[in-house]
Structure 1
Amino acid sequence: MAEQPTEALHEDQVVDAESPSDEPRATPEEAVAVPPRPFLWDELSADDLEHRWHDLDVWVDWLRRTYGLPASVIPPAWHRHPELVWELSALHLHWLGCYHPNNDPSAPLAWHRDFADAQQRLRDWTATSGTRLDRDQPTHQTSWPGEPLTHRGGERPIVDRRADFHTHVHADVTQRRNQH
């Protein structure tokens, strides 16, 4: 995943004005028509990566609004913290599976049970990462004996979450394209 910039991002700094998120995207309800399949973020092609980022962003926004989740559970800069991305994408995949039309009618109850557990993990990781409603910093990485000390990087304000998301995705997708 892309590295964090050290400065605040503003709306006029959006890298790609014609972002894929400007195109009509499936709503969470429409997305259940396709059976879910697990995937690894690190193995996606650049195009798949871009679509997965935007699909997850739509779903996370829907989730936080539908359930009234505070920034202590899903912070605005969740996309900059791999531990939050992996948890949210697993939760999204689980939601797609539980709400798939071919699934058992009681599957949504299982999702809600698992969602309650996931909320606690999200709270813990958000607290550990140091990201907040109005500011963000890289997640602390503990150096083990014999490893060089890791520098956490500075805190930066979150001025425009959407612009920051687009910039982050653009950097991640560009990096993936350059790897292949």
Structure 2
Amino acid sequence: MTETLKHFEPFPEPPALILEYIAERSTDESVAADGPAPWDLGALSAELIAPMPAWLDSVCRWLNRTYAWQPQDVIPPCWARHEGLTYEIAALAFARADAHAEAGSSVIWHEQYDRFLTRMNKALGKAGDECRVGKHDDRPARFQLAAWPTAKIKEAGTAGQVKELAG
């Protein structure tokens, strides 16, 4: 019976630099307070962000090999070109390390993974099928996003600025 379980691959280990950073955050209060969470990709230093793409790619490949039974469950190979998806993959990857400390937490992580798939498919929409077969196109909402005015709000919430932006 043990032969049937030999093909299971371990989850990809985070890069050593990231593991060191996590350890430092948990022991040094100043880093924990000042340093961004390792899954907050946009807030990481260039040094910390450098090993992330390769690791997150290995996480995506592992998730696809391990869980993607149906086509809509496949994380597309262009995942890094979908910014929101990249943030979600990072959070899911870091959450998995915490979740496997206890069996109940592992069940919760699997529920989070299921919700991730729902959000991924909603975000990808019709473009998801094309992305999954390597035919990535620019962001479908690019024209709608380009319609936003270029003016910046200095202090959010003032009625005058909202009227000004509304034109």
TM-score of the pair, normalised by structure 1: 0.55
Match of 2:4?
none
* 1:147 and 2:149 aligned: yes
Which protein has the larger Cα radius of gyration, Structure 1 or Structure 2? 2
Equivalent residues in 2 for 1:25-174, closer than 5 Å: 28=11, 30-31=13-14, 38-69=38-69, 72-73=72-73, 74-99=75-100, 103-127=101-125, 131-139=131-139, 140-141=141-142, 142-143=144-145, 147=149
Cα distance change on mapping 1:89 and 1:29 into 2, 3 Å: closer
Letter paired with 1:67: Y
The alpha carbon displacement at 1:123 in A equals 0.9
DSSP-derived class of the 1:136 partner = coil
Letter paired with 2:84: E
**More displaced 10-residue stretch of structure 1: 122-131 or 88-97:** 122-131
The alpha carbon displacement at 1:28 in A equals 2.1
Cα distance change on mapping 1:146 and 1:123 into 2, 3 Å: closer
> Which structure features the higher share of helix residues?
2
Gapped regions of structure 1 (runs ≥ 5): 1-26, 149-180
Letter paired with 1:58: S
Distance in 2 (alpha carbons) for counterparts of 1:143 and 1:29: 36
Letter paired with 1:136: H
The alpha carbon displacement at 1:79 in A equals 0.9
Question: 1:133-172 CA distances to partner (integer Å, 9 max, x unpaired)?
Answer: 1301122232376527xxxxxxxxxxxxxxxxxxxxxxxx
Letter paired with 2:106: P
Distance in 2 (alpha carbons) for counterparts of 1:119 and 1:146: 29
> Is the CA contact 1:72–1:126 (under 8 Å) kept in the aligned structure 2?
no
Runs of 4+ in 1 over 6 A off after TM superposition: none
Cα distance change on mapping 1:116 and 1:124 into 2, 3 Å: same
> Is the CA contact 1:79–1:85 (under 8 Å) kept in the aligned structure 2?
yes
Letter paired with 2:118: Q
RMSD: 3.0
TM-score of the pair, normalised by structure 2: 0.59
How high is the sequence identity, in percent, across the aligned residues? Answer: 23
Cα distance change on mapping 1:112 and 1:39 into 2, 3 Å: closer
Gapped regions of structure 2 (runs ≥ 5): 1-9, 24-36, 151-167
Distance in 2 (alpha carbons) for counterparts of 1:145 and 1:80: 21
Letter paired with 1:28: F
